Structure 1
């Protein structure tokens, strides 16, 4: 029996075949619209201070602190007002105050703002400039002024290469005078499913057909991961048809992902194309110590990295999140490829199986037995405050319904799980 590759080693093997894509500069307005999935290729540096000028932090009256007595209240003459987007017509003199709205520049000479609700005026009337000639007020607890550059100083590094472009970054960059961002190009990923039994979604499958759910699922995963799916749908179990489909996407994509055809069947077309050599290079057909999803393959097709997954929908789902998603992350320049993981305790059980099933090897005849790598059972789970439990229908490994109710993938040991056991959990809610 050929030794199986540990799951973590297969992730490393996938990541070794891809590298961050070239950087492009995009206007900030474009980055804001396309932000989910974009990753910075260079640091973002503030071009201007934020705020750009001293301004009022509240609606109130701007005045000179020298005109405020230490305890009692005082009446000052009101000499006009300043709204946001305006500038004061003149500087304040001794004994004067000016109405000032939140965000408005301070009149020259002012160094404190008293909130309107703490004055004799009480409140301003929306849509009408005040008519009061004087106001009575007392010393506030603070000056209620936002100073130039107190939030962001010019030259401050707002984000570094490898960070995601987020709404918060877009806002900070815009406020700080940044016009464009250097980001990694979004990866384009070909999605191809193999199998002569496949029928398009919506079509009647017939007595022996199967709806092609894999290519739709993978396209959605790629898009959510920040890539651009290039879906080619189902390809029959024919080597010439598969080669033509692969050739058709070369030059258009940065990564190829296929499902099906990598096991030990007589019509496993992906294995056939990979083992024939020729255009497919650097082929690595292996069994990964996991269930579901043991048969896996890696290669390059005309220098485009190729990740080949098994065809069972649940296995394809699991493998896409564990292997394809990190590859997409690496291509788009993410600092930490892959979904976030945590350790949680099982709150239900026992579940899983301690049996190591005797299955035929997916890639050729059996070889002399070697020590077996413990199989990781990847179980769809529900994550709760007190731990994790299998999603409904998850135990058994082939339920699509279980995936609907799952927000995590527990990496369970082959010996089974009992309540209280600590498990590593891949958090599906972290998918972008």
Structure 2
């Protein structure tokens, strides 16, 4: 899909797209529900990694590199001192001790960034700073701590052996050696290494531009006054925008749209000019006012389904507009929306970025108490993971199973993943967990 050049449609009803159908959808199970894994894999199969382009190093942080990188230089580029002290010949200080110090005349000084002095004569020393080039014939450094720091003559109280405190050319990296392979994700230390070899840009896949929309006439923007008693503040769009940003996306929080079909059509079509992925919440279930499900087929090919998971059963997906921009449509209850984000949207963002693995790793934790699970559905329960005295992972439920319990979700640092055949977990049982935060 192109990154630039999309044209905004002034009239969403006039929008035309190529009527290429979606790929065949997965077969549902005997209960008519699609498995969570099948739905996730189907979404990912409909997505294409974003095309790469060159970015400055700081902008490339956490992105997927799209080239093999080789060093054009040795590191270090020259033999240099690892300490502030004196460059010497090791043989000249071999007998030095606190009781019988060796005295050497200081014949010069060299700092980092300066050229090395002339060849070191036997029985002399040159004052040297960390990173300064090693003078010819010097083969060891005596650190300041082992001297009296003399200016014209220096007394040495301990020997330094050959190569002590010397950094040799190429001992870290040799010119021509491969540092990165295409597909690696760049962290802060990687960015530092690229800068150290002289690179200021690198070819990477960009951050996906994700537009986040909340639907519902009952919603009010945080910071505004609630009107009648049945209005609520919108938390979903802010929460999902934050989750998308944490996953690496460039996020546009569009805000709220009422349950008016024309408004929904206009807001969604407006996002096509800038989005690589559109994320909506609400309006995908079986209600009379589930407007997203009702109107999105006018903008593109869509797939609405029921997934064998709790929470998050109603799910929607589409390829919208001329550019077939992917749109993932999540349920409106806050916990359902967040769990669905972890199950489907986060993997989608990572695929667009070309970052693997797409899914969170599964870790095993020991349950601290008994709890039950509904049969026939993948249960995704909020959990709190901690460490026992031996460093083993423990997990407990964070409150109840209700998909409206946002307070419990905020307390959780993990999602407990229970299989469709699991109905009961006993104290001490090991369970699968997605860690959302670092555990301490």
TM-score, normalising length: structure 2: 0.85
1:262 Cα offset (Å) = 0.9
CA separation in 2, counterparts of 1:49 and 1:89?
22
CA separation in 1, counterparts of 2:140 and 2:300?
73
CA separation in 2, counterparts of 1:335 and 1:393?
32
Equivalent residue, structure 1, for 2:141:
113
1:301 Cα offset (Å) = 0.9
User: Within the alignment, does 1:97 sit opposite 2:116 as a pair?
Assistant: no
Deviations 1:34-72 (A, max 9, x none): 355422122232221211111111122111234344687
Equivalent position SS for 1:411:
strand
Would you say how many aligned residue pairs link Structure 1 and Structure 2? 397
Equivalent residue, structure 2, for 1:401:
407
Equivalent position SS for 2:253:
strand
Equivalent residue, structure 1, for 2:109:
81
Equivalent residue, structure 2, for 1:17:
46
Equivalent residue, structure 1, for 2:317:
298
CA separation in 2, counterparts of 1:428 and 1:298?
24
Mapped contact 2:93–2:159 kept (Cα < 8 A): yes
Give the 5 Å matches for 1:280-429: 280-281=300-301, 283-302=302-321, 303-348=324-369, 350-354=370-374, 356=375, 374-385=376-387, 386-413=392-419, 414-429=422-437
> Residues 234 and 284 from structure 1, CA distance in 2 versus in 1: closer, same or farther, beyond 3 angstroms?
same
1:278 Cα offset (Å) = 3.9
CA separation in 2, counterparts of 1:395 and 1:262?
21
Mapped contact 2:60–2:202 kept (Cα < 8 A): no
Mapped contact 2:96–2:157 kept (Cα < 8 A): no
1:93 Cα offset (Å) = 1.0
CA separation in 2, counterparts of 1:180 and 1:76?
48
CA separation in 2, counterparts of 1:37 and 1:115?
39
Mapped contact 1:256–1:304 kept (Cα < 8 A): yes
List alignment gaps of at least 5 residues for structure 2. 1-29
Among candidates 245, 256, 259, match of residue 223 of structure 1: 245
Equivalent residue, structure 2, for 1:49:
74
Equivalent residue, structure 2, for 1:253:
275
Equivalent residue, structure 2, for 1:266:
288
Equivalent position SS for 2:342:
helix
Mapped contact 2:63–2:353 kept (Cα < 8 A): yes
User: Within the alignment, does 1:133 sit opposite 2:139 as a pair?
Assistant: no
List alignment gaps of at least 5 residues for structure 1. 125-129, 357-373
Equivalent residue, structure 2, for 1:212:
234
> Residues 405 and 102 from structure 1, CA distance in 2 versus in 1: closer, same or farther, beyond 3 angstroms?
same
C-alpha RMSD over aligned residues: 2.1
TM-score, normalising length: structure 1: 0.86
Among candidates 242, 262, 275, match of residue 264 of structure 2: 242
1:397 Cα offset (Å) = 4.1
